[in-house]
Amino acid sequence: MKLSILGCGTSTGVPIPGCTCEVCTSGDPKNERMRTSALITTDSGENILIDASPDLHQQALRFKINRLEAVLYTHAHADHILGTDDLRVFNFSRNAPLPCYGDRETLTQLKDFFRYIFEPNPNYEGGLLAKLELNEIEPYSTFSVAELPITPFALSHGSSPVTGYKFGDIAYATDCNYLPSETEELLRNVPVLILDGLRHKAHKTHFTIDQAVAKAQELGAKRTYLIHMTHDVDYHSVNKALPAGIELAYDGLQIEA
Ligand SMILES: [Zn+2]
Ligand SMILES: [Zn+2]
Ligand SMILES: [Zn+2]
């Protein structure tokens, strides 16, 4: 199985339009971060998307994503759902709606946000609407997509719940600053951990890089990749200073497990 990091940037993306800071103007491709999302490719070549970011269209073109079997949503913040409209192009290659998974709150917010998709107006005359099948999931209740067992787990993102996903040897935990004890148990000694590591300065709803490093070490993750970074994080200088087994992710990073 393979996990591709399609984007590892915070909600603004990096560079930030108009920003003249060193990272935003570095021209270094590893400092160019689309909004956070990832793609699981199973051994039989089937693709499962984690979050539909506002950069989905560019991500699909850049990483040649031609077909999707399903979408796993982590939560309904704009930087994780605004690409939902673009999912319609993945209906072209299938004769059935695209299955989407998320917790109850996320699905409720999706239906609210994209009412024109989920409650189409009979007089609608625009382009083709996405056909999505919403599946509610519960933390720690394993389900399968394309024969891959996936275990959702709970995360806290300030006071908002977020769903992380464990599949094979990989756990994906974006947008969080606290892991409940049941999640810590599930992730103990996980071979590959993808974890929120926003920046160095404290934040109310995201782990800082130091907090993420401490959490990864406490869990005993063998390899950890940090995601959801801001423009405060220069890839090369920050990555060099991380302890062994912990790295910054970058767009296009492929992790085999
Ligand atoms: Zn900047
Ligand atoms: Zn968020
Ligand atoms: Zn986010």
CB-based contact 235:242 (threshold 8 Å)? no
Dihedral sign from CA coordinates of 82, 83, 87, 88:
positive
* Residue found by looking up tokens 């490719």 in the block: 41
Mean pLDDT throughout 199-216?
98
Q: How far is the CA of 1 from the centre of ligand 3 (A)?
A: 25
Query: In the chain, which ranges are continuous DSSP H helix?
Result: 56-62, 78-81, 104-113, 115-118, 181-187, 209-219, 235-240
Per-residue pLDDT tens over the stretch 124-149: 888 899 999 999 999 999 999 999 99
Token couple for 55: 């950069």
pLDDT band at 153 (very low <50, low <70, confident <90, very high): very high
Sheet strands side by side (includes 37-41): 132-136, 98-102, 70-72, 47-50, 37-41, 2-7, 254-256
Q: How far is the CA of 159 from the centre of ligand 3 (A)?
A: 14
Q: How far is the CA of 80 from the centre of ligand 3 (A)?
A: 6
pLDDT, mean over the chain: 97
pLDDT at 37: 98
Question: CATH fold of 2-256, please?
Answer: Metallo-beta-lactamase; Chain A (3.60.15)
Q: How far is the CA of 51 from the centre of ligand 2 (A)?
A: 11
Q: How far is the CA of 15 from the centre of ligand 1 (A)?
A: 6
Q: How far is the CA of 240 from the centre of ligand 1 (A)?
A: 20
Per-residue pLDDT tens over the stretch 218-240: 999 999 999 999 999 999 999 99
> CA-CA distances (angstroms) from residue 122 to 87, 97, 114, 118, 125?
21, 19, 15, 12, 9
Q: Who contacts 148 (Cβ-Cβ below 8 Å, separation ≥6)?
A: 1, 40, 42, 46, 48, 167, 168
Q: How far is the CA of 75 from the centre of ligand 2 (A)?
A: 7
pLDDT band at 94 (very low <50, low <70, confident <90, very high): confident
Identify which ligand lies nearest to the alpha carbon of 227. Answer: 3
Protein residues near ligand 3, an ion, with CB under 5 A: 79, 175
Q: How far is the CA of 25 from the centre of ligand 2 (A)?
A: 25
Q: Does 84 have pLDDT greater than 90?
A: yes
pLDDT at 93: 85
CB-based contact 195:207 (threshold 8 Å)? yes
CA 219 to chain centre: 20
* Residue found by looking up tokens 């570095």 in the block: 26
pLDDT at 15: 98
Identify which ligand lies nearest to the alpha carbon of 10. Answer: 3
Cα(16)–Cα(94) distance, integer angstroms: 36
